[in-house]
Structure 1
Amino acid sequence: MNIKSLVVVLGVFASLLGAASVSAGEVEDRIAQSLTKAVPGLKVMSVRKSEAKGLYEVQSNNGDTIYATEDGQYLMTGDLLKVTEQGIANVTEVARADARKATMTEFGDDGVISFPAKNEKAVVSVFTDIDCPYCRKLHDEVPQLNEYGITVNYYAFPRSGPNTASFRKYESVWCAGNQQAAMDAAKAGRKVDEANCENPVQEQYQLGGRVGVTGTPAIVLEDGNMVRGYVPAKRLAEGLGLL
């Protein structure tokens, strides 16, 4: 084959690749449009092929994962499991963790109320409600977590929502001159002076919804996995491989 013929063949091959990529994009767009139209208020964050042939994985704005057929007419909710040599793997949870990690990284940790470990080995992001009993129980163990080398970064998630007493209480804690002392007092049930300032409580509350927080405490690990509910400090440190 001469050089001229080779160039023609490569050009045709490139055109075919371009057409294929456009087709793939059209499939994903069609699924997104179909879901958005069918479910009012749903915002599709991403659509991609799943590990299961014929299914596409859809990430929504509320942290849910949905599976759809290529034509977008058939949907499946719930976890997609895969049989491996090691046993059963939860494909959906891996996808959730990846998406959660990306969302948390994009949001960043500006505005968190942090209780840093002096010899930091791990960082956990905790969505917390000041009035939640198990959140208070977890907070009692923050010094122990710090001793294990775990930094605790608090994100606001007052479960009662905006314009409630619990929400305003978190704003007062955030606006206090000493946030850590105010958090300690509030978690212990002591009164915190009301304070107002520009604050990120609303944005953090919305972030919680995006990463799938449904209750508190919700502990997001650095790899994006979420521990739902209270876990004793020692068990959390063991789970992180620190003990």
Structure 2
Amino acid sequence: MALSALVIAGVGGVAFGLSSYSPASARGGDAELRTALAKRLPKTKITAVDCNKLTGLCEVSAGNTLFYTDRHARYLVIGRGYDMETRPDLTAAMLLELNPDTLLGAAAHNEAPAGDSGVRAAPTRVSLAELPVGGAIRWGALSGPKVVVFTDFHCPYCMKLSETLATIGVRVEERPISVLGTRALSEKVYCSKNPVASLHGAYRHEEPTTDVAKCDTSGLDANEAFARRHMFAGTPIIVRADGSVIEGFRPAAELTAWLKGGAA
């Protein structure tokens, strides 16, 4: 079914005309779109094209990567698609179909079309000493094992991870980074009077009303710089107190074992 109310999170400045779109004409144009994509992205192997699912946009799969374009392959959109009426994350559902073993929050991954040479994988260990005290929102059990999470408030698996961490008695340090265009939201959450409550609210699409003009957001800058330096291309990224890194959502039992020193 085509969806008429769609927003792509994290991408701005591109508008698509929806009223003149016809699913029937899209079906006939898939081959032309593949040809156009091959010319514009010659080193990206396109595995599937679907112009019927979303009104006005075509969903394109390239291995485990998902992005969107118009039917003429002029505009490339990397971000998350949400149905604004029923609220589901349409991109997350498709990414899970493409790669059920890797529940990463980011829409673009190692085969992203923006870089023909690919993206280097995140390291398996980092030094948390590089991070400042600022830039973190801390909550959870003070006596529990420490876990640092690089998160994006529009990432559904980040929300799922946050909910899971709340059940296993850990000391959580969430560090927002903007993978899906959420820097302004991160500032409002971080600078709010109750950052912990605002954090959990932000995952539920509740935006705090915060004056950030007098707030020091240099800690958020440090989070972004750390993420870039260590090639954190998706969220969530989970870091243990000893610096060990795992990517993506993990269930409670696996997280508990890993935080006790087990293998990922």
Runs (4+) of structure 1 moved beyond 4 Å? none
Q: CA deviation at 1:111?
A: 3.2
Q: Secondary structure at the match of 2:166?
A: helix
Query: What do residues 113-159 of structure 1 show as CA deviations (whole Å, max 9, x unaligned)?
Result: 00131432x211110000101001111223213x2xx2110112110
Other-structure match for 2:206: 190
Inter-partner Cα distance in structure 2 for 1:110 and 1:233? 27
Change beyond 3 A, Cα 1:157–1:169? same
Output the amino acid matched with 2:136: V
Output the amino acid matched with 1:154: E
Which structure 2 residue ranges, 5 or more long, are not aligned? 1-119
Other-structure match for 2:30: none
For the pair 1:106 / 2:130, whether they are aligned, the reply is yes
Aligned pairs for 1:68-83 (under 5 A) are none
Q: CA deviation at 1:241?
A: 2.6
Q: Is contact 1:123–1:152 with CA below 8 Å preserved after alignment?
A: yes
Other-structure match for 1:237: 256
1:170 to 183, 186, 204: 186
2:178 to 158, 165, 187: 158
Q: Secondary structure at the match of 2:190?
A: helix
Other-structure match for 2:243: 224
Aligned pairs for 1:1-243 (under 5 A) are 97=125, 100-101=126-127, 104-120=128-144, 122-145=145-168, 147=169, 150-160=170-180, 164=181, 166-196=182-212, 197-199=215-217, 200-241=219-260
Query: What do residues 189-217 of structure 1 show as CA deviations (whole Å, max 9, x unaligned)?
Result: 22321431221222211111112311000
Output the amino acid matched with 2:153: I
Q: Is contact 2:135–2:176 with CA below 8 Å preserved after alignment?
A: no
Q: How many residues matched?
A: 141
Q: CA deviation at 1:237?
A: 0.5
Query: What do residues 73-93 of structure 1 show as CA deviations (whole Å, max 9, x unaligned)?
Result: xxxxx89xxxxxxxxxxxx96
> Rg: which structure is higher?
1
Which structure 1 residue ranges, 5 or more long, are not aligned? 1-77, 80-91
TM-score, normalising length: structure 1: 0.52
Q: Superposition RMSD on alpha carbons, in Å?
A: 2.6
TM-score, normalising length: structure 2: 0.48
Q: Secondary structure at the match of 1:190?
A: coil
Q: CA deviation at 1:182?
A: 0.6
Per mean C-alpha deviation after superposition, the further-off stretch among 223-232 and 106-115 is: 106-115
Report percent identity of matched pairs: 26
Change beyond 3 A, Cα 1:230–1:190? same
Inter-partner Cα distance in structure 2 for 1:144 and 1:129? 20
Inter-partner Cα distance in structure 1 for 2:143 and 2:222? 30
